[in-house]
Structure 1
Amino acid sequence: FNNNTNLVVSNAEGGEENKSSVTSYYDGLNGPVADRPEKNRQTAACWLVIAKKQGNYLYVTNTGSNNISSYSINENGMLTLTYAIAATSGAEPTDMVLSGGDQEYVYNINSGSQTITGFSREADGNLTKISQINNLPLYAAGLAAY
């Protein structure tokens, strides 16, 4: 949920190529905020995070496309695709977290390349790569930040 009790769901569409999307629901009960999911034309949307500070942006990993998309999300929960490819990640990105006092950093784990990639958030929703941790254990999963 974002600050306005909207539930946001990533839609992997069974991993079909170029079919990923994100849908915002008000209160989780009253149906979608929009008529349709907001497509990003990527593959296998997976994990998402909502950055409430420094702009209201949502980021979603696309496991089949090896990248991260960004959306702006307004006070009513309406989504707008900002960048279909806000950043290129390692292979098979899955989990993602926000870090920093102002949520200025995004980190994601890439199960296919056994890496964690770090990005700084830009004011327009784009991401800039700042770090990478290599040689994670095979099948490493889960990511937390504090």
Structure 2
Amino acid sequence: MFRLIDSPLGPLRLQASPRGLSRVEFSGTSTPLEAVGGTDEGGVDKRSADVLDAAQVQLAEYFAGQRRAFELPLDLPETTAFRAAVHAQLAEIGYGETVTYRDVAKMLGRPGATRAVGSACGANPLLIVRPCHRVLRSDGGLGGYAGGVAAKRFLLALEEI
């Protein structure tokens, strides 16, 4: 089940199963949310809708500066062991903190895996919830982000980094 929600960064697409939130991504659509109804819940179980409701509320609180951490059940898609480790490490980066791709590689005991960390961040299915926007290039530059550099800059400013 998925839902499109509005955010200060434009539409976000949330996806959930009965087990938890599985994806937060920039929708890339230019269609106004009102035109598509904002949700696609066609009779799929209530637990998935509850997860989406909670995610929508918590994201709104985050964007309003009232939430620093997310408390949502997650249903992570299958991935490689390395990417799963990177994504788990992202969850450990505190609100208002930044690290570099190299730092994450070192934290994982793989100091030579800087580019692989960058690739894993790029494959992060839970943008914002698993905060890959807090990971910078080794020179302190913003680097890539699924929502673009402007979105990354916005999120970092929101957290006053």
Q: Which has the higher contact order (CA 8 A, sep 6+)?
A: 2
> For the superposition of Structure 1 and Structure 2, which TM-score range results when normalised by the shorter chain?
under 0.3
Which structure's CA Rg is the greater one? Answer: 2
Report the TM-score, using the length of structure 2 for normalisation. 0.24
Greater share of strand: 1
